[in-house]
Amino acid sequence: MRIGELKNWGIGELKNWGIEELVNWSIEELVNIRIGEYKNWGIEELVNWNIGLKTEAEAEQSKET
């Protein structure tokens, strides 16, 4: 699994992964996500990812109340 592929997934898709699916990632696959690929994420992308997560969490909470 490459960082580029992860970036193409929506937050919703990642949230839909069950714990079982994450556990099924082997150590080798995780190790293959290289530091260099993380560095290729611009600060803007990381900030937008965090904002997206917070916004979705807030939207979910407001639905519940």
Query: In terms of pTM, does the model score above 0.85?
Result: no
pLDDT (0 to 100) of residue 9: 60
Distances (CA, A) of 10 to 27, 31, 51, 64: 24, 22, 13, 22
Residue 60 identity: E
Tell me which residues of the chain have a pLDDT lower than 70: 1-54, 65
Domain boundaries, the chain: 3-64
pLDDT tens string 1-18: 455 566 556 555 655 666
**Contact predicate 29/63, CB 8 Å:** no
**Contact predicate 41/3, CB 8 Å:** yes
